[in-house]
Amino acid sequence: MIELRAGRLRCELHPDLGGSIAGLWFDGQPVLRSTPAAQLASARAAGCHPLVPFSNRVVHASVVWQGTQQPTVRNAGDDPGAIQGMVAQRAWSVLDSDATSAMLACEHPADPSWPFAFDCSHTLRLTPQALEMTLAVTNQSAQPAPMGLGWRPHFARRPGMHLAFRADSRWELDADKLPVARRAAQGLDQDCATLSADDCFEGWDGRADLRDATLRVRVESGLARLVVSSDPARGDLALEPVSHVPNAVHLHAAGLPTGELGLSLLQPGESMLAQMRIVVEPVA
């Protein structure tokens, strides 16, 4: 377990649990849904974890690629699909760390859970203003491979919290929380207390603002899609910068182009990367 400190920010990492961020605190107040790393039971309960080689859901826990259906491992209990990629179930290695930064790595050999070999790295740096992350993945297969990445940060929902971001469209989801149609949308601008959502927004401008009477938190990323998951009955809010829409491999097999879905096709040895910042400021 690793602790990072910078100014009034503190972050705890648990590499053995999916390379996850156990918690992020500002003057002791949780910014993310935060648990001390020593008490964290799984990556899915963490404040944030990386999503590789896909985000959100893959229906029927199978990959349809180049005309062949290849089963993957169900990794979400009773859910019939595969969720949040493979690396959240793996221990990550610590390549380097100091008081304010860490570099983690994870290798995946081709196996029944995902038929394409890859390796990935996650670099985290804490400054007095922000937690900065860079996630990179390389296709180590001998064949082209579909690939996606992102993060799943859960933010602590504080009284009076308001969410605002801009986008140009939203994917409507069916009863199984899978995208079926893309509709025009303008993002969101509303109080979190009444926010009920499980949506993938397209054309995200790369900034989402959370504010309340205590803190201003800003999520920044170059990724063009933002998955918002919120239930008023829960005490947190997930804002996920991701590279592709949910179930992208199946939508591509059904005829939608990879570019529309955000699905990357990596050649052998080719890499892709993404960055995210979580900026935290006190309300004056």
In whole angstroms, what is the distance from residue 62 CA to residue 260 CA? 21
The pair phi, psi for residue 2, each rounded to 5°, is -130, 135
What's the pLDDT at 150? 95
What's the pLDDT at 42? 87
What's the pLDDT at 283? 94
What's the pLDDT at 77? 55
In whole angstroms, what is the distance from residue 153 CA to residue 254 CA? 30
Domain ranges of the chain: 45-87+129-282
In whole angstroms, what is the distance from residue 12 CA to residue 254 CA? 42
Cα–Cα distances in angstroms (integers) from residue 21 to residues 2, 102, 154, 221, 244, in the given order: 9, 11, 10, 17, 22
What's the pLDDT at 69? 55
What's the pLDDT at 175? 72
What's the pLDDT at 236? 74
pLDDT in tens, the chain (284 residues): 999 999 999 999 999 999 999 999 999 999 999 999 999 988 888 999 999 988 776 655 566 655 555 555 554 555 555 566 778 888 999 999 999 999 999 999 988 778 889 999 999 999 999 999 999 999 999 999 889 999 999 999 999 999 999 999 998 877 777 777 889 999 999 999 989 888 899 999 999 999 999 999 999 999 999 999 998 777 779 999 999 988 877 676 667 777 788 889 899 999 999 999 999 999 97
List the beta bridge partners of residue 188.
165
What's the CATH code, domain 45-87+129-282?
2.70.98.10
What's the pLDDT at 234? 74
Question: What residue type is 257 in one-letter code?
Answer: P
Task: State the maximum Cα–Cα separation within the chain, in Å, rounded to a whole number.
Answer: 57
Nearest of 193, 195, 199 to residue 177 by alpha carbon:
199
pTM for the complete prediction? Answer: 0.91
Place of tokens 């140009």: 168
Place of tokens 């239930």: 231
What's the pLDDT at 61? 52
What's the pLDDT at 78? 57
